[in-house]
Every structure is written in structure tokens, then in C-alpha cells.
Amino acid sequence: MGIFKKFERQFGKPQGLLGRIAGKLMELKGTEKIEWTISLLDIQKDDKVLEIGYGPGVAIELLSKLTPNGYIVGIDHSDLMFKQAQKRNLAAIKEGRVDLRLGDVANLPLFDIAFDKVLSINTIFFWENPVEILKHIHRIMKPGGVIALTIQPFNETDEKAKEYGHQMMNYLENAGFTNVRMEIKSMKPVASVCVLGMK
Ligand SMILES: C[S@@+](CC[C@H](N)C(=O)[O-])C[C@H]1O[C@@H](n2cnc3c(N)ncnc32)[C@H](O)[C@@H]1O
């Protein structure tokens, strides 16, 4: 688990009252890094996008606005986050443009579509076997598709954030992604790091 211990439990699988508070914090504090990550993905109107660990569904909502002719799939293993994200994205779900799943990323199915873009924000260090999961994600992406993994660690320094970025770059390279690069954005209280790779 390693870095996992650095994260508060409720952010790994929000549930109950504390989980609700964690969800609220994600909504209030997460928008800047979500918007930044989405901007790095150069989303197109017809993109098919997968988000892993959607939390309260803020990124899903932004993505669905950017993809009027596209399709957004999300997976999160928290029942509470599933309900909150569903509520936030009800209209787009009813229109059939957003598909939210409740489940563990370790059991990600094969989809009948291939994804242009994949993102995951402040989630990867909760995964048990990141490289295996990333190999599966690589399989379900289109050639030329882009993945973005962002992290803004809690209670850490900018240097530590960069260290995590290098670790995520290794994960992507070991899973078969190419053109792997790191972007860093200065933020309060600590920098966000986004690692991108191409299939
Ligand atoms: C810190 S929150 C981040 C939520 C959102 N991405 C954001 O930035 O606001 C991490 C989310 O990942 C989900 N998560 C963690 N491990 C997961 C796993 N193995 N499978 C699916 N979801 C997972 C949690 O339930 C939680 O909603």
C-alpha cells in the first residue's frame, strides 16, 4: 500500500457522515485541479471518456458539457459517491450521455466502446495494483488515446508531489503507455501533478 497510508480513509471510500463531509470537501477544493486536468486532455465534442474515482461527480459534469456528441463513463466503488454523482448528473444520465458505474477499478469490465480519453484524479494511490489496472485501461483505449493521472497530495510538499509524479510516470510506462510526461501546477496548499501518456 505505501503511499495509500498518507491519505485519509474517507477519501479512499467515502461512506456515512464523514464520507459526506469528504465529498463536500472534494466539491469545494477539487475544482481547480479538475479543470486543469480536463484542459490538459484537449477534450473533443465527440470524445468517449472514462473517469476512475469520480467522487461527487464534478469532473463528470464538466466533461459531459464539453462532449455534446460524446459519451462519458465513470466508475467509483463508494455507494455514497455513486449516489451523489448520479444526483449531480441526472439530466445527462437520462439523455444517455453519461453512464456511472458502482464498482472497483480492479474489476473494470471490457466495454463495447474504446475510450479516447481516460482520467483519474486523486485516486491512483488507493489502487492495489496500479500497473495491472493501467494495463487493462490501455487495452480499452483507442490507439492515440490519452490518459491523465492527477494527484495533489494532502499534507505534503511540492517536492513530494513531484516524487509521486515520477512514480506515476513509471506506472504508465510499465503499463505500455508512450509519450509519458509530467505537468505541474502550483496550487495551495501544495502543487498538483498530472502525468499524461498515450496509447
Ligand atoms: C479523493 S477522492 C477523489 C474524487 C474525485 N476524483 C475528485 O478529485 O474530487 C477518491 C475517489 O476514488 C474512489 N476510489 C478509490 N479507490 C477506488 C477503487 N479501487 N475503485 C473505484 N473507485 C475508487 C473513492 O471512492 C473516491 O470517490
- Per residue in 41-68, pLDDT (tens digit) is 999 999 999 999 999 999 999 999 999 9
User: How long a stretch of residues is the chain?
Assistant: 199
Q: How far apart are CA 1 and CA 26, in angstroms?
A: 22
pTM of the full predicted structure? Answer: 0.93
Domain with residue 170: its CATH number is 3.40.50.150
Task: Using CA atoms of 110, 40, 33, 139 in order, give the dihedral in degrees to the nearest 10.
Answer: 10
Q: Ligand 1 atom 25: the closest Cα is on which residue?
A: 13
Q: Ligand 1 atom 4: the closest Cα is on which residue?
A: 55
Please state the separation of Cα 197 from the chain's center in Å.
14
Q: Which domain holds residue 89?
A: 3-198
Question: What percentage of residues in the chain have a pLDDT greater than 90?
Answer: 79
Q: How far does the centroid of ligand 1 lie from the alpha carbon of residue 142, in Å?
A: 24
Cα Rg, the chain, nearest whole Å: 15
* 75-130 tens-digit pLDDT: 999 999 999 999 999 999 999 999 999 999 999 988 999 999 999 999 998 999 99
63 lines ligand 1 (CB under 6 A): no
Total number of domains in the chain: 1
pLDDT, residue 7, reads: 43
Residue 82's φ and ψ, nearest 5 degrees, are -55, -45
